[in-house]
């Protein structure tokens, strides 16, 4: 007599094996060979899943019990918040026996990917498409008359909204001042707008808007859920990262469109430790946005530091972590990385953020050097308030957007700070 597997003897096989009986004992009880019992149990009871990195393969041969994708996901207890189905296949055939007649047989197979990988793929496609759309149809920019090139005492007017941390969440009762996406955007636009209006006191030849330096509070999502800095430090985030990115881009475009009404505008993008990758994406978008506008020039690169020249002034921009490193001073880094700019400038400054408080240093390799030949290094005030961690550590700072005017012939003409309006306590949430 030829032995045939049925639903009943398959269930009996699984039950006896799960109760601890050997395959020899089971074979004797159900009337098959020991090897047949072993092979059937392996196919019918042991889940066949293969996981590699960010993908997993699920497959299952069974008699009627698993006949669909939902059955397969339920059998393997798949966490569908962590895994997404990339593709699946269901095979069906029939087996005939005298005892049971026609029995349907199924094989269900599915390929899963981690949701974070799916989101990354979708974000990459969306980003590429957005950049393509902007290159195909850039915004229409109003033609403005050129600034007066023959003005007396022309200056560069630098606007430096350092460390705005758009998207950060701070509870007012815990941190002393509330902060969320709407407050961050309002503070950025209103404070930078005040700084732009103050340019009327100078004969502005060019404006320089510093972007980056932790414009956005987080750079990535760990496991698709936890917002982190570039290095992976978890952050308190107000909302979804793509929403924050869009809000930041709109805020920057709003103030840039105002600034270019005053003078030719350079936008320089400096990566921060919170948004190293995101700031580069932002720079790409700003470049595409203004590529047809002859009043706006976007300066960026993958490098951590950027050089900039106006007249006899030479500037090094960096976020500022170098102040903590035991290595050559930033002045020497300036000379080494930008030798042509160093040689062409007589007045040199290094501008940083990162520390959320002001700090000014003068680097003189020899004591007899005059002040006008020193290299000034400035750490400028942050626009963001303190978050929970900084509050717990006792770190406080004066919130401000800093502006500086520099003579074309070299040297500082003026320096100003503009503070954001505070949220009234009665308007705090919670």
CB 279 within 8 A of CB 215: yes
b/e per residue, 16-27, with b = 16+ CB within 10 A?
A: bbeeebebeebb
* Confidence (pLDDT) at 144: 55
HSE-up (13 A, CA, CB side) for residue 231: 5
Handedness of CA 215, 216, 218, 220 (dihedral sign): negative
**DSSP-derived 3-state class of residue 302:** coil
What length is written for the chain?
430
* Confidence (pLDDT) at 365: 38
CB 4 within 8 A of CB 97: yes
Compute and round to an integer the Cα radius of gyration of the chain.
Answer: 32
The domain ranges of the chain are 1-46, 47-137, 153-427
* Residue stretches of the chain with pLDDT short of 50: 46-47, 62-64, 149, 326-327, 357, 359-360, 362-373
3-state helix, strand, coil in the chain (%, to 5): 35, 30, 35
Angle of CA points 300, 302, 308, to nearest 5°: 40
Strand boundaries in 252-389, DSSP class E: 264-270, 296-299, 306-310, 313-317, 347-352, 359-363, 375-379
Which CATH number is 1-46's, of 3.10.310, 1.20.58, 2.60.120, 1.10.10?
1.10.10
**DSSP-derived 3-state class of residue 157:** strand
pTM: 0.63
Query: pLDDT for 144-203, tens place per residue?
Result: 555 554 556 899 999 999 888 888 887 766 767 888 888 889 999 999 999 999 998 899
227 strand-pairing partners: 221
* Confidence (pLDDT) at 368: 33
Q: What is the DSSP string of 169-217?
A: -B-HHHHSS-B-HHHHHHHHHHHHHHHHHGGGGS-EEEEEEEEESSSBS
- Taking residue 28's Cβ as centre, other Cβ atoms within 10 Å add up to 13
Overall CATH class of domain 47-137: alpha beta
Which CATH number is 153-427's, of 3.60.21.10, 1.10.20.60, 1.10.260.40, 3.40.50.300?
3.60.21.10
In this structure, what is the dihedral angle of CA atoms 333, 220, 379, 302, given to the nearest 10 degrees? Answer: 30
Domains 1-46 and 153-427 share a fold: no
């Amino acid at each position: 007599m030829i032995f045939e597997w049925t639903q009943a003897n398959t269930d009996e096989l699984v039950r006896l094996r799960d109760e601890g009986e050997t395959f020899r004992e089971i074979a004797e009880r159900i009337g098959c060979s020991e090897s047949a019992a072993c092979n059937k149990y392996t196919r019918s009871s042991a889940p066949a899943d293969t996981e590699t990195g960010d993908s997993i393969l699920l497959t299952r041969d069974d008699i009627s019990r698993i006949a669909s994708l939902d059955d397969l996901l339920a059998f393997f207890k798949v966490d569908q918040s962590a895994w997404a189905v990339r593709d699946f296949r269901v095979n069906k055939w029939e087996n005939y026996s005298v005892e049971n007649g026609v029995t349907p047989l199924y094989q269900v197979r599915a390929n899963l990917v981690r949701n974070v990988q799916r989101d990354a793929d979708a974000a990459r496609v969306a980003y590429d498409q957005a950049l393509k759309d902007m290159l195909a149809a850039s915004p229409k920019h109003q033609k403005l008359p050129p600034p007066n090139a023959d003005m007396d005492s022309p200056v560069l007017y630098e606007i430096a909204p350092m460390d705005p941390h758009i998207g950060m969440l701070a509870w007012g009762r815990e941190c002393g001042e509330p902060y969320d996406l709407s407050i961050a955007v309002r503070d950025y636009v209103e404070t930078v707008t005040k700084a732009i209006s103050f340019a009327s006191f100078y004969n502005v030849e060019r404006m320089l808007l510093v972007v980056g330096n932790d414009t956005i509070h987080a750079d990535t999502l760990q496991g698709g859920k936890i917002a982190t800095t570039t290095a992976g430090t978890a952050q308190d985030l107000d909302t979804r990262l793509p929403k924050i990115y869009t809000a930041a881009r709109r805020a920057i475009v709003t103030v840039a469109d105002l600034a270019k009404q005053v003078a030719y505008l350079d936008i320089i993008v400096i990566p921060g430790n919170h948004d190293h990758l995101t700031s580069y994406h932002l720079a790409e978008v700003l470049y595409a946005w203004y590529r047809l506008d002859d009043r706006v020039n976007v300066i960026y690169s993958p490098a951590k530091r950027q050089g900039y020249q106006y007249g006899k002034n030479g500037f090094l921009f960096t976020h500022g972590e170098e102040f903590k490193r035991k290595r050559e001073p930033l002045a020497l880094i300036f000379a080494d990385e930008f030798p042509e700019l160093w040689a062409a400038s007589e007045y040199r400054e290094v501008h940083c953020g990162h520390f959320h408080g002001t700090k000014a240093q003068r680097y003189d390799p020899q004591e007899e050097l005059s002040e006008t030949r020193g290299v000034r290094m400035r750490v400028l005030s942050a626009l963001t308030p303190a978050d929970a961690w900084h509050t717990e550590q006792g770190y406080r700072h004066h919130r401000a957007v800093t502006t500086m005017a520099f003579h074309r012939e070299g040297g500082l003409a003026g320096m100003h700070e503009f503070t954001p309006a505070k949220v009234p306590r009665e308007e705090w949430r919670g």
